[in-house]
Amino acid sequence: MTALHARPVRVPRRRRPLTVGRVASYAMLVLVAICYLFPLAFLLNTSLKSGGAFFADPGAVVTDPQWGNFADAWVQGNFGAYLANSVLYTVASATIGTAVALVLAYPVARSYVRHPRLWNLLFVLLLFLPNALITQFQLLLRLGLYNTQIGYIAIMAAGVGIGPILLAGYIKSIPFELDEAAAVDGCGYGRYLVTFVIPMARPALATVFILQAIGVWNDIILATILLSDPAKSPISLGLYAFKGTYTNNWPLLAAATMIVAAPLLAAYVFLQRYLVGGVVGSVKG
């Protein structure tokens, strides 16, 4: 007997007809993409120009790319010395800030505290409050943490931002029966957060971590105020090296800006699925 192997039948995919709504949606997506990509393309175009070509016509497309601008910007901005500081500040502050956001969001999402709606309203109001620079400066000064890496990390980690809101929304999608089963089995509060909540809320935690990391990496105001020692400066303060008394070297400044933004762009490309998954899960929750 010979075995008969049936070939799988391919069902042709039906193409959805183009409607006015779909065309409008595609046009809106293209418009949004242009709005985001045009500044980046203009910055890249400027970074590849020489000083004379830029001042002759700032908006012209570069014809003789000056790739050496990136090497000159790296040396002039002393980015090699500042890079390690930024990595330390970003990883430490984002990790601590994400942990704080989880500790705040979980009891509110499960209504383990009184007036959870009031807490949610407080999380939203915190997004609109101005940064208390004078209070933060005086706090670190009185604690003896001014111009220290620990003090700067603590201040940056305290700005949890939208983290509690995203995590609270995502945690609501986790079945409440798991909490009850863990309590019956004698699982403690902290152990339950680490062994159950963190693995199940990984997309939302990754989203909060990314958003926190972006804020720390791009910070320039708090770093200027709280860190007076240049040896402790983050990579964003290296942009000050391109500020002249009467004019700026715009091509080198654009190249330096690309160097500072490159790690964030690379991180977004590789982690965008976590970012989208965390936001979608929080909205559904």
Please name the residue ranges forming H helices in the chain.
20-47, 51-56, 68-76, 79-109, 116-126, 133-143, 149-158, 163-171, 177-184, 189-192, 198-200, 202-218, 221-226, 250-284
Rounded Cα–Cα distance for residues 171 and 176 (Å): 9
Axis-axis angle for helices 202-218, 163-171 (nearest 10): 170
User: Mean pLDDT throughout 62-74?
Assistant: 90
> Residue 281: is its pLDDT beyond 70?
no
Sequence-ordered list of residues with C-beta below 8 angstroms from that of 258, at least 6 positions apart, any chain: 43, 44, 47, 70
Task: Report pLDDT for 15.
Answer: 65
Task: Report pLDDT for 86.
Answer: 93
Amino acid at residue number 137: F
44 versus 186: which is more confidently predicted?
A: 44
79 versus 159: which is more confidently predicted?
A: 79
pLDDT band at 110 (very low <50, low <70, confident <90, very high): confident
> Residue 119: is its pLDDT beyond 50?
yes
Q: What is the pLDDT of the chain when averaged over all its residues?
A: 84
Rounded Cα–Cα distance for residues 191 and 178 (Å): 13
Cβ proximity of 176 and 110 under 8 Å: yes
Task: Report pLDDT for 186.
Answer: 82
207 versus 16: which is more confidently predicted?
A: 207
Cβ proximity of 200 and 174 under 8 Å: yes
User: Mean pLDDT throughout 92-109?
Assistant: 92
**First CA to last CA distance, the chain:** 56
pLDDT digits (tens, 9 = 90+) for 89-98: 999 999 999 9
**What percentage of the chain has pLDDT greater than the value 90?**
24
CA distances from 265 to 42, 84, 149, 191, 229 (A): 16, 18, 25, 35, 28
pLDDT digits (tens, 9 = 90+) for 225-263: 999 898 899 998 888 878 765 567 888 989 999 999 888
User: Mean pLDDT throughout 214-220?
Assistant: 90
Query: What's the fold here for domain 42-284?
Result: MetI-like fold (1.10.3720)
Task: Report pLDDT for 277.
Answer: 57
pLDDT band at 102 (very low <50, low <70, confident <90, very high): very high
Task: Report pLDDT for 11.
Answer: 56
User: Mean pLDDT throughout 67-72?
Assistant: 91
> Residue 41: is its pLDDT beyond 70?
yes
Rounded Cα–Cα distance for residues 134 and 123 (Å): 22
